[in-house]
Amino acid sequence: MIASSSCQIMRSLHFFIFFSALITTYSTSTAVEITKGINGLDKVILRQTQGSGVEVYLYGAHVTSWKNGQGQELLFVSSKAIFDPPKPIRGGIPICFPQFSNLGTLQSHGFARNRLWTVDNNPPNVTSEVANGVFVDLLLKPTEEDLKIWPHRFEFRMRVTLGPTGDLMLASSIKNTDADGKLFTFTFAHHTYFSVSNISGVEVKGLGKLDYLDNLKNRERATEVGDAITIKSEFDRVYLSTPTEISILDQEKKRTFVVQKDGLPDAVVWNPWEAKAKTMADFGEDEFKYMVCVEAAAIEKPITLKPGEEWKGRLQLSTRL
């Protein structure tokens, strides 16, 4: 997974050409930068002049930071997160593909979050919505090693966009590029960790009265009784056939996260709580108090693609007071 020096030089040159063209063509008030992150891993920084910013590592196409115009961090990343491939990064927005959790034969949450993605320096379909913000397109294709554990050829494109008002949008497209007529099936999630003041003062709204699978009870199916979800102990549920908008109220900060999604019918709500947090080497013992995961996902009904077919999903995150 470590590129040669010549490859790194060429890649850096491609980044420079692409980002220079992007800034000139699509916006005069925004910036994109490629730089080194923790342990020398490449990351892309997106900025808006009003102060908001996003950081995304090429390792895993992993968003690790999303800040508002006041410079406040909106995502949670553990102080013990490990930035050392092939270990996953704890926090931010990991990608679960082609398998969510242990619902299959692969490692938990699949391999997309453990791979080095590339930047597409000739991105297609630049819409006016994207042009008003700043974006980067990241690509993942299977390696020969990947094909040994999951024998399907695909192209996964994810466009990370920081909008002019600080909204964060992740637009994914996954295409079956197999030439042998083989279809494939996958499950998917954006495993988003939100930063909160204290979990005791958090409410998740929009999932009331919906059916869910309780991962703490062997995926037993049940129905949510309340209108708003509050978390008082370990919590791990997959809510089914959810609305396109979910909100997370942080009462102490009087701030609401708004999760808008398309093509992702399910939603996972997770917090490890104290006992499990103590068993996680890459998670601080008391950090469960300061995060909640609300994940846009496609889990209950796996997605099947024939050769040439493409699936698209979209996640947009914003805040309001």
Cβ–Cβ contacts within 10 Å for residue 279, how many? 9
- First CA to last CA across the chain, in angstroms? 43
Q: What's the sign of the alpha-carbon dihedral 6, 9, 10, 11?
A: positive
The per-residue b/e assignment along 23-52, b for 16 or more CB within 10 angstroms, e otherwise, is beebbeebebebeebeeebbbbbbbbeeeb
Distance, in Å, from the CA atom of 98 to the CA atom of 111, rounded to the nearest integer, reads 7
Q: What is d(CA 95, CA 296) in angstroms, rounded to the nearest whole number?
A: 10
Q: Which amino acid is at 142?
A: P
CB distance 288 to 274 below 8 Å: yes
- Whether the CB-CB separation of 311 and 301 falls below 8 Å is answered with no
Is 295 among the catalytic positions?
yes
Exactly one of 62, 152, 191, 287 is catalytic; name it.
Answer: 191
DSSP state of 207: -
Please tell me which residue in 295, 300, 309, 310 is annotated as part of the active site: 295
Answer yes or no: are the C-beta atoms of 269 and 248 closer than 8 Å.
no
- 190 catalytically annotated: no
User: Rounded distance, CA 185 to CA 132, Å?
Assistant: 35
CB 91 within 8 A of CB 77: yes
Strand order in the sheet with 202-205: 118-119, 134-140, 154-162, 168-176, 310-320, 255-262, 245-250, 202-205, 228-229
- Ramachandran category for residue 218: left, alpha or beta (phi over 0 → left; psi -120 to 50 → alpha): left
Q: Which is nearest to 188 in space by CA: 113, 92, 90?
A: 113
Mapped onto helix, strand or coil, the DSSP state of residue 241 is coil
User: Helix, strand, or coil here: 68?
Assistant: coil
Catalytic residues: 191, 295
